[in-house]
């Protein structure tokens, strides 16, 4: 049994009403999840104010309410049986109360937080895999929260504080003593991880994104630096020395730190490495000596992610044998440079949805692809518009052919978003087509691929939905791409045996011009590459 006054011990109370020594059976910021005996924390959100729902939570049986303004005549009547507390910042209070309600379980764990514009999910997943060789380790990030058989989908890179501490309490009961989590800039700004004491903070990189929320690049970076301000003298910062913002991160540190990167000046750096379309081999210099790794993750960008994970593991004291073993066993994170086809030409799916992510990804695959890179991508609607022309510039500079399409248009017209992207193309660049229908865009890109080409489907990665103004539909890049590929393979196998000598791989067929709603483009038996659409 825990009481309201116990949950408020570390909270500055501005005003109050009612008995604070009452039992609390739960706590939440979502009015729909309030039950008998719960405490409701009314958050002032970006689009809504939780105080609007006081009537609902009272009817649901809430025993206590925390809010940022004193109830007045505009509020519904609050019964004397319901206690209320006024505070300055309900989000800060929510984190404190949630941590206390669930027993401060994060204090009993070794916590690693990863922040950066790109790479968080892959780095988090790698560290989780390595730590799990020697410790019971939980993970929290874009792909959800998980520990052993406990899995919780969240829909957020970093969930709300009450959901985090609820999960950690369950994981702790199962023996969990390590946590690896993504700490997004939004979550840091909104105090979701205030009451998690991090032993390590990992900085992957920094580039423009989320300016619809942070407004300026300076505010965006400052939000990420909050993770490192939380680190104490005995804690560790892991910093990507290759990133231009690394010096600024190092300036803000009051803890120990270690750097990684391709520069020999980094504490952890590659001595030699080799890339192919489906693997990476490298010898990495670390403070503990040279470490050999073999990974199914591909490209320079992933070698950087691998070094970040190795650095974290070295600090944690994981053995070299277990680091190498975990990396060799690790499968690509869904939607992160994930190769789904490699027969004549290759197809990859990647989550890159910023200009820097696109540029880094394209430069990485350029090192391992002998043919041209055909990129399918778009940009999200109702979000930071400033990055759209930058994405267009990055794509036009680094890909051989572009199919510009929709991502999640949300409240905007997909064609307007596409125009914003095209505005950033290099002067005179004309190796592109536009196709707002993402399914047809993927079909077109795969159908035009030739021997040794690479098709990269970027932007949505692991997501299995697409958001429009009036609806959200099921949409999975994997499913669409595989459908096209399976159809091509099937058509190839259907060719009469007597004719097979005339044909090579399906990747060398000429695609029909799309002028209908055909589900799949059927290949024509024409091997003259000079007539394929992307060489026009």
Whether the pLDDT of residue 78 is over 60: the answer is: yes
Residues listed for the chain: 536
- The runs of H, that is alpha helices, within 102-242 are 120-131, 161-173, 185-189, 211-214, 217-229
Please choose, from the candidates 527, 483, 480, the residue with its C-alpha nearest in 3D space to the C-alpha of residue 507.
527
Beta partners for 474?
A: 465
Q: Where are the domains of the chain?
A: 2-100, 104-329, 338-535
Residues 473-527 have pLDDT tens digits of 999 999 999 999 999 888 776 654 444 443 334 444 333 333 333 333 333 333 3
Average pLDDT (380-409) is 95
Residues 287-316 have pLDDT tens digits of 999 999 999 999 999 999 999 999 999 999
- Say how far apart CA 504 and CA 452 lie, in whole Å: 13
Contacts of 247 (CB under 8 A, 6+ apart): none
2-100 CATH: 3.40.1390.10
Beta partners for 466?
A: 473
pTM comes to 0.78
Residues 257-281 have pLDDT tens digits of 999 999 999 999 999 999 988 899 9
Distances in whole angstroms, Cα of residue 362 to Cα of each of 176, 289, 317, 512 = 38, 31, 34, 27
Distances in whole angstroms, Cα of residue 186 to Cα of each of 142, 148, 190, 215 = 13, 28, 6, 12
Please choose, from the candidates 384, 402, 393, 383, the residue with its C-alpha nearest in 3D space to the C-alpha of residue 458.
402
Average pLDDT (434-447) is 97
Chain centroid to Cα 501, Å, comes to 46
CATH of 104-329, one of 3.40.1190.10, 3.20.20.70, 3.40.50.620, 3.90.380.10: 3.40.1190.10
Distances in whole angstroms, Cα of residue 246 to Cα of each of 116, 208, 250 = 11, 15, 6
Burial (CB count <10 Å: 0-12, 13-18, 19+), residue 511:
buried
What letter would DSSP give residue 71? -
For 38, what's the count of Cα atoms within 13 Å in the CB-facing half-sphere? Answer: 24
| Angle value at C-alpha 458, between 412 and 476, nearest 5 degrees | 80
Categorize the per-residue pLDDT at 212 as very low, low, confident or very high, splitting at 50, 70 and 90: low
Please choose, from the candidates 396, 521, 389, the residue with its C-alpha nearest in 3D space to the C-alpha of residue 449.
521
CB 345 within 8 A of CB 339: no
Whether the pLDDT of residue 532 is over 60: the answer is: no
- Per-residue confidence (pLDDT) for residue 155, from 0 to 100: 81
User: What sign results for the dihedral spanned by CA atoms 20, 24, 28, 32?
Assistant: negative
H/E element holding 523? strand 523-524
Beta partners for 236?
A: 200, 256
The CATH superfamily label for domain 338-535 reads Mur ligase, C-terminal domain (3.90.190.20)
């Amino acid at each position: 049994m825990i009481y309201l006054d116990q949950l408020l011990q570390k909270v500055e109370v501005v005003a109050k009403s009612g008995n604070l020594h009452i039992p609390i059976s739960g706590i939440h910021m979502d009015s729909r999840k309030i039950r008998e005996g719960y405490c409701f924390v009314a958050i002032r959100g970006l689009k809504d104010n939780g105080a609007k729902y006081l009537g609902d939570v009272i009817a649901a049986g809430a025993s206590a309410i925390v809010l940022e303004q004193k109830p007045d005549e505009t509020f519904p009547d609050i019964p004397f049986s319901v206690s209320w507390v006024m505070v300055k910042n309900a989000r800060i209070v929510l984190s404190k109360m949630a941590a206390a309600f669930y027993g401060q379980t994060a204090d009993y764990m070794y916590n690693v937080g990863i922040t950066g514009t790109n790479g968080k999910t892959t780095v988090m997943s790698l560290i989780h895999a390595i730590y799990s060789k020697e410790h019971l380790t939980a993970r929290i990030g874009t792909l959800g929260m998980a520990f052993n058989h406990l899995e919780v989908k969240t829909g957020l890179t970093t969930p709300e504080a009450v959901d985090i501490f609820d999960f950690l309490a369950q994981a702790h009961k199962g023996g969990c003593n390590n946590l690896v989590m993504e700490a997004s800039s939004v979550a840091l700004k909104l105090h979701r991880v205030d009451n998690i004491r991090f032993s390590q903070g990992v900085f992957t990189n920094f580039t423009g994104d989320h300016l619809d929320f942070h407004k300026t690049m300076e505010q965006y970076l400052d939000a990420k630096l909050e993770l490192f301000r939380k680190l104490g003298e005995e804690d560790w910062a892991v910093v990507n020395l290759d990133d231009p913002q690394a010096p600024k991160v190092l300036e803000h540190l009051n803890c120990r730190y270690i750097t990684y990167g391709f520069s020999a000046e980094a504490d952890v750096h590659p001595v030699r490495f080799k890339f192919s379309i489906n693997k990476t081999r490298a010898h990495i210099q670390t403070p503990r000596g040279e470490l050999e790794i073999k990974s199914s993750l591909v490209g320079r960008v992933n070698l950087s992610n691998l070094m970040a994970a190795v650095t974290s593991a070295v600090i944690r004291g994981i053995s070299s044998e277990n680091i190498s073993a975990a990396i060799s066993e690790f499968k690509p994170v869904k939607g992160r440079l994930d190769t789904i086809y490699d027969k004549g030409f290759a197809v990859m799916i990647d989550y890159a949805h910023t200009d820097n992510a696109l540029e880094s990804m394209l430069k990485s695959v350029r090192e391992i692809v002998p043919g041209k890179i055909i990129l399918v991508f778009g940009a999200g609607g109702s979000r930071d518009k400033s990055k759209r022309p930058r994405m267009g510039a990055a794509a036009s500079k680094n890909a051989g052919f572009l199919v510009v399409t929709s991502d999640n248009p949300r409240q905007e017209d997909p064609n307007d978003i596409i125009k914003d992207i095209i505005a950033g193309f290099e002067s005179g660049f004309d190796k592109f087509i536009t196709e707002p229908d993402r399914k047809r865009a993927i079909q077109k890109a795969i159908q035009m691929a030739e021997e040794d080409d690479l098709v990269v489907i970027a932007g949505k990665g692991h997501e299995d939905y697409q958001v429009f103004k009036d609806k959200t539909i099921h949409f999975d890049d994997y499913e669409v791409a595989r459908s096209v590929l399976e159809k091509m393979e099937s058509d190839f196998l259907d060719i009469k045996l007597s004719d097979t000598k005339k044909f090579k791989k399906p990747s060398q067929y000429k695609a029909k011009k799309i002028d209908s709603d055909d589900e799949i483009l059927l290949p024509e038996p024409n091997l003259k590459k000079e007539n394929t659409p992307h060489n026009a």
